[in-house]
Amino acid sequence: MKFTEILEKLACDIKEYKVFGDPDVFQVASLEEATQGSITYVESLRYGHLLETTAASAVILPPDQFLQEKATGSGLAWLTTDNPRLLFAQTIRLFYKSFRPDSGIHPSAVIAQDAQLGANVSVGAHVVINSNVKIGNDVCIHPNVVIYPGVILGDRTILHANCTLHERTIIGSDCVIHSGAVIGAEGFGFVPTKDGWYKIEQSGFAILEDGVEVGCNSTIDRPAVGETRIKSQTKIDNLVHIAHGCTVGSGCAFAAQVGLAGGVEIGDRVILAGQVGVANQVKIGKGAIVSAQSGIHSDVEPGEVMSGSPAVPNKLYLKVSAIYKRLPQMYQAFKQSAK
């Protein structure tokens, strides 16, 4: 594809551009790995020096004179936009489309007679769809997925291979459930009695609203009563655990290996970094950010940035972490003064 063709296809977001001989571009690459024929991007001045050495043919820049001059100096075709990373993501789609099987039902799939399937559905080999399942239009179910009775799936949702949807699961439109994820399994509920653990049957629902994405091998449980709900457009990475009865707001992002205990309530647009844990019944206000490996044991106000285990406001955490390394000195002084 000629650079000018790319410009045309992405036209709406481009501010300025410069063409040097209209190079052929046939792949996307990072600045460091780019070879001839690659289009790449630079997000900030920090990486500007790499423009001198990159072998790329074209580059997406922010509207920055210095970077433009660097790119011009290196003979790169360039364009500018306010969000280079976004435009790069759009450019990837010009060169790559992830695998999507044709619509149709593989003969080895086992589908209950009363299951309802929409138009243009793809059902892969060895898929099992139980009784009373309702599947929207343009849904894509990869091989070896199992769907328990009564599950509802919205339009255009994608289920990757080997994932499992349990009874009492409702999934909206435009969701992606990645391989090995398990949605709507029984919450971990037992009452201690003098005769041991008494199992609480989990009669509630697991509900994923439109545009939710759940990573590989993540688990979202259904509760004893009521619902576990993930609101629209929330994105969840791999190996995350969301326990029975949690409510997660819209537009959140949870990194890998996050764990929410039972009944947690999380507002909209909350970011939880990797391996964060949140204790039972805790509430996290909208827009809060929690750093990696933090442990949240009490409610977090909207917009707060929290770190550490137990978590404290990030500013305090940074101070304390710096002091942490000086504890041996402080302890020496303490011992001296205690004499």
Q: Which stretch binds a second copy (CB under 8 A): 14-22, 46-54, 62-70, 314-322?
A: 314-322
* Of residues 65 and 256, the one with the C-beta less far from a second copy: 256
Among positions 161, 285, 286, 305, the unique one binding a second copy when judged by CB under 8 A: 161
Determine if 85 is a binding residue for a second copy (CB under 8 A).
Answer: yes
7 near a second copy (CB under 8 A)? no
Alpha helix stretches (DSSP H) within 127-208: none
Please, which residues bridge with residue 177 across strands?
159, 214
Catalytic residue among 142, 160, 178, 244: 244
Distance of CA 298 to the CA centre of its chain: 25
Residue 105 found at the interface with a second copy (CB under 8 A): no
Residues numbered 219-258 forming contacts with a second copy, rule: CB under 8 A = 219, 221, 224-226, 233, 235, 237-239, 241, 243, 251, 253, 255-257
Q: Which residues contact 34 (CB under 8 A, 6 or more apart)?
A: 40, 54, 55, 56
150, 171 contact by CB (below 8 A): no
Active site residue 244: yes
Those residues with Cβ within 8 angstroms of residue 230's Cβ, 6 or more apart along the chain or in another chain: 207, 208, 209, 212, 214, 220, 236, 242, 248
Binders in 18-47 for a second copy, by CB under 8 A: 28-30, 33
Q: Would you say 68 or 238 has its CB closer to a second copy?
A: 238
Question: How far apart (Å, rounded) are the C-alpha atoms in residues 7 and 295?
Answer: 46
Give the interface segment with a second copy, choosing from 14-22, 57-65, 69-77, 328-336 (CB under 8 A): 328-336
Segment 251 to 290, residues that bind a second copy, using CB under 8 A: 251, 253, 255-257, 259, 261, 274-275, 277, 279
Task: Please pick, from the candidates 11, 45, 92, 119, the single residue that binds a second copy as defined by CB under 8 A.
Answer: 92
Interface residue with a second copy among 11, 45, 119, 323 (CB under 8 A) is 323
- The one among 2, 86, 104, 114 contacting a second copy by CB under 8 A: 86
The tokens for 265 are 């309530």
d(CA 178, CA 237): 9
Positions 115 through 134 that interact with a second copy (CB under 8 A)? 124-126, 128, 130
What type of residue sits at position 161? A
Q: Going by DSSP bridges, is the β-strand pair 312-313/305-307 parallel, antiparallel, or unpaired? A: antiparallel
* Helix/strand/coil for 107: coil
Task: Characterize 112-125 residue by residue with b for buried, 16 or more Cβ atoms within 10 angstroms of its Cβ, and e for exposed.
Answer: eeebebeeebbbbe
Among 63, 73, 104, 188, binds a second copy (CB under 8 A): 188
Helix (H, G, I), strand (E, B) or coil at 128: strand
Q: In 28-159, which ranges are continuous DSSP H helix?
A: 65-73, 84-95
Pick from 220, 281, 226, 204: which is nearest to 254 by CA? 220
Our finding on whether 149 is near a second copy (CB under 8 A) is yes
Q: Rule CB under 8 A: is residue 143 a binding residue for a second copy?
A: yes
Give the x/- contact pattern for a second copy in 193-222, rule: CB under 8 A: x--xxxxxxxx-------x-x-xxx-x-x-
Report in angstroms how near the CB of residue 5 gets to a second copy at its nearest. 18
Q: Are strands 158-159 and 241-242 parallel, antiparallel or unpaired?
A: unpaired
Q: How far is the CB of 241 from a second copy (least distance, A)?
A: 4
Among 35, 36, 116, 329, binds a second copy (CB under 8 A): 329
Indicate which residues carry an active-site annotation.
Answer: 244
